[in-house]
């Protein structure tokens, strides 16, 4: 693959044309099931509580300077869960989209769904298309929900779309965007947060997170608050992002 120093994938500080996409936070929302089990409730109740945490997080994000927020709602591996739980999750997604469309529009939040669509129900894909269209003019925040998402599948599909040609990074970016139904103009991930105590990426935004700062918290997703989001952003602000160059802090000896 050819490289280009102006490619958005390679440039650690990309210049987005509209000037709005300045800080991309991605969150792996883990811990719904454990939250419910700790309270003696069915796992499904944890997903409902998790939807409330989504609302809190979306409401808090713009004030923290977040311009793009990507939430890992349902991985392609989650199809392995019991059918009853999968059905419940799909119902939660449908209910969220139907209930929040007007609210998102009013608050100038643009919603996009990334991932596969061929395995989702017709009613869900119709709701996705409707909300994406109704909110597309939002400028306060770009909310991206990853549903039936696999970074590996997206990468493989992007390569297959390109065939045998030797693409530029820009061509590969375009192919990957088409593979996961992602709109253009989104910068790479700056901060990747995972709740629930686990410390792994789990096939989430592997390409886009090449230079992301990682933040792990033991807080289960339904308990995640605006203050928890603020703490993650505060931790990010304290990081020295080098992108392979020497650090800027006085105690940096250039050893790494």
Give the domain ranges of the chain: 24-237
Task: Give the 3-state secondary structure of residue 203.
Answer: coil
Per-residue pLDDT reduced to its tens digit, 200-235:
999 999 999 999 999 999 999 999 999 999 999 999
- Distance between start and end Cα atoms, the chain: 27
| Residues 6+ away with beta carbon under 8 Å from 28 | 72, 192, 193, 194, 195, 201, 202, 204
* Alpha helix ranges (H) inside 107-165: 122-134, 151-162
Q: Of all residues in the chain, what percent are helix, strand and coil, respectively (each to 5)?
A: 40, 15, 45
Tell me the two tokens of residue 251.
């105690």
Q: Is the per-residue pLDDT at 94 higher than 50?
A: yes
Beta-ladder partners of 26 = 70, 192
Distance CA 115, CA 9 (A): 19
What H or E segment, with its residue span, contains residue 100? helix 83-106
Which pLDDT does position 26 carry in this prediction?
98
Q: Is 153 helix (H, G, I), strand (E, B) or coil?
A: helix
Distance CA 113, CA 100 (A): 14
Q: According to the model, what pLDDT value does residue 29 have?
A: 98
Coil, strand or helix: which one is 86?
helix
Confidence of residue 20 (pLDDT cuts 50, 70, 90): low
Distance in angstroms (rounded) separating the CA atoms of residues 156 and 210: 17
CATH for 24-237, options being 2.30.40.10, 3.10.20.30, 3.40.1180.10, 3.40.430.10 = 3.40.1180.10
- Catalytic residue positions, numbered: 30, 78
> Torsions phi, psi of 181, nearest 5?
60, 35
Question: In terms of Cα–Cα distance, which of 152, 9, 149, 142 is closest to 67?
Answer: 142
Instruction: State pTM to two decimals.
Output: 0.86
- Of 247, 237, 192, 209, the C-alpha closest to 9 is 209
- Range name among 13-27, 116-130, 179-193, 231-245 with the lowest pLDDT average: 13-27
Please give the pLDDT value at position 140. Answer: 96
Among residues 160, 98, 89, the alpha carbon closest in space to that of 119 is found at 89
Residue 169 pLDDT: 85
Strand 191-194 to 24-28 pairing:
parallel
Q: Is the pLDDT of residue 1 over 90?
A: no
């Amino acid at each position: 693959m050819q490289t280009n120093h102006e490619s958005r994938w390679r440039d650690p500080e990309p210049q987005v044309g509209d000037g709005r996409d300045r800080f991309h936070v991605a969150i792996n929302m883990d811990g719904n099931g454990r939250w419910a089990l700790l309270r003696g409730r069915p796992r499904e109740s944890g997903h409902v509580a998790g939807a409330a945490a989504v609302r809190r997080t979306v409401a808090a994000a713009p004030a923290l300077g977040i311009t793009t927020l990507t939430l890992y709602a349902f991985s392609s591996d989650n199809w392995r869960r019991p059918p009853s739980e999968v059905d419940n999750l799909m119902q939660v997604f449908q209910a969220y989209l139907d209930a929040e469309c007007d609210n998102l529009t009013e608050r100038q939040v643009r919603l996009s769904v990334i991932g596969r669509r061929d395995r989702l129900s017709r009613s869900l894909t119709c709701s996705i298309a409707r909300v994406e269209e109704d909110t597309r003019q939002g400028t306060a925040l770009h909310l991206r929900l990853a549903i039936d998402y696999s970074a590996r599948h997206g990468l493989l599909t992007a390569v297959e779309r390109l065939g045998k040609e030797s693409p530029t990074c820009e061509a590969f970016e375009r192919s990957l965007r088409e593979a996961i139904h992602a709109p253009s103009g989104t910068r790479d991930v700056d901060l990747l947060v995972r709740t629930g105590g686990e410390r792994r990426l789990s096939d989430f935004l592997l390409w886009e997170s090449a230079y992301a700062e990682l933040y792990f918290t033991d807080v289960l997703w339904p308990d995640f608050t605006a203050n928890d989001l603020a703490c993650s952003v505060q931790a990010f602000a304290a990081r020295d992002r080098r992108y392979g160059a020497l650090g800027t802090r006085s105690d940096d000896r250039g050893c790494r």
